[in-house]
Structure 1
């Protein structure tokens, strides 16, 4: 490009972050500043997200200090990104402090705080905040409902079905994020048929939805259906990731399909480009022990 401006730099930094290159995003941000360009809210938001992906609290605190200096904290996009950063780096108390300092609430900052509570194991606090957002007439988004539904460890089935009803009422039931969360919730309660019905009704199924269904079937003893779902995934041309393969290997282990599991494990890297990690090796050990 013959001429660069802040918008150009923001686009590049955001692209690096969204494409899975957070370190490159930080590097470009530093170059941008060294060349005399003043970052705006969009630059800083992308960089904070990069720090979150890297779990780099120290670098994130430096960006946060810059936000304080230039007065960006009134922007709820930046505040919500910083709340996420602190909680993912096990600094929930800092997330709560920043949230309490907000002059006004909107769905972005409330979603981040609810998600932070759920991430750190304080699902009850997240549910209480969710109720407060409803009282303040803040319309729940797909991210709100997903965060609440992820608190299944403290949810009762009755509460879960109420959230399902709210998703239907809000027109969010068919959203990929919400549907995947509903699939996960019902499978954890043992209602795997409900999970399958929601999964089959999804208009768009991303890899998260497929992984959630495969894991749900596996943990509910429906291992043959889990393997069939995996074959259907491959038939649709979606490349499996490490979570997909962990679920499939676990299904093979639970079902006693030793040869199938060994074949998948030994071909992971070559066929799917996924390098085995501890969760995959654990299943491999089970296969070896079972074959003796």
Structure 2
């Protein structure tokens, strides 16, 4: 019963049943332990995981796959170091792909993409054959690293091992190609699939949206029903985002209305955030503000009001922006977010209120708030060249700036105002 609850996403109910079982004097066995570790992973709750791990040690419980459960639990609950400790103790001579998969997935999810690729390399060196789970875990690392060349190598490996038709691998391939800028490759993988699920469709819809192909995203969304696949809540986030990116407001609002009436899915904060973002992007800022206000307590989410604040700045609704910022900074955790402080500072800078700008910047400095630097990349001959604004760390930095200056001078000589210095 506990396993059934956990497998159906009812983790809290599963925990309560474990508590009832213990009150009746029953001891936890390896089946209960696996359910508890899965619950800790699902809830990202390290405390439950640690207590379960301690119980294992105290009672000397051992079972097949124990290490993979522990690694997965620690990685998902944010303690990658603990996951590494268990992995490093067991990986030598371990031919169980589940242990390797758990570590690869954990490092990728925690943004340690170089490390996940090194573990994948170790896995091959130890003659452990990667399976579908391995590939679907390592492929996201390629898009995070900006290496489409590596993604293509893994795709070739999947074809040779007859894993490319696996629905999880194919979904990961669609996602990897889309995020790496190769929407045609993603589309080709998607169209050639014999088996598709809601994840595959969602990844393709997301890809279309990110590449400004909103009409295709909507068309694919409506085609899901014809294929006998019902969109889930995440699919709706994907298609609403696509409508937002491409300015298809009326279509997006119709899809949002159908969420509950046609599909029986209760809108979540992510769906509401999409609507606010959608309206805000096209300048319907007041309408977006009223929509957010109508949500009441359910709408007290940083993502919703943060999106609205950005729209106020872009479309120069400065007074409304100050109201939104005030509401936003009252929310739990928002006062620690650098982005909101920077947006508010920029709004006052647009108005010429430099004294306030200085006070905000000073407050950020005193509280140790640093804006994360945006990074761009371009793939040349299989090597991802990453750079940031005013970058001086690129190995060919001098040549790049020399060429920019040359272009700048040529534009100016032709009577054009260059967009860069």
Do these two structures clear the TM 0.5 threshold for a shared fold by scoring above it?
Answer: yes
Aligned residues: 280
Q: Does 1:94 align with 2:82?
A: yes
* Map of 2:183 onto structure 1: 192
Aligned partner of 1:242 in structure 2 is 233
Report the counterpart of residue 140 of structure 1 in structure 2: 130
Q: Quote how far apart the aligned CAs of 1:24 are.
A: 1.8
Structure number with greater Rg is: 2
Task: Provide the rounded CA distance (Å) in 2 between the counterparts of 1:75 and 1:107.
Answer: 16
Superposed counterparts of 1:144-155, under 5 Å: 144-151=134-141, 152-155=143-146
Write the distance in 2 (CA, Å) between the matches of 1:76 and 1:222: 47
C-alpha deviations, 1:120-149, integer Å up to 9, x for none? 110111101111111111010111111110
SS at match of 1:126: helix
Q: How well do the aligned residues superpose, as a CA RMSD in angstroms?
A: 1.9
Map residues 1-292 of structure 1 onto 2, 5 A cutoff.
12-72=1-61, 74-102=62-90, 104-105=93-94, 106-151=96-141, 152-289=143-280, 290=282, 292=284
Query: Which residue is 1:9 aligned to?
Result: none
Runs of 4+ in 1 over 4 A off after TM superposition: none
Contact 2:68–2:98 (8 Å) recurs in 1: yes
Deviation at 1:174, TM superposition (A): 0.5
Q: Name the CA distance, whole Å, in 1 between partners of 2:19 and 2:278.
A: 49
- TM-score, length of structure 1 as denominator length: 0.89
Deviations 1:154-193 (A, max 9, x none): 1512111111111111211100111011111111122112
Q: Distance in 1 between matches of 2:6 and 2:258?
A: 30
Distance in 1 separating the partners of 2:200 and 2:66? 29
C-alpha change, 1:170 and 1:247, in structure 2 (3 Å) is same
Greater relative contact order structure (CA < 8 Å, 6+ sep):
1
Partners of 2:93 and 2:126 within 8 A in 1: no
TM-score (norm 2): 0.63
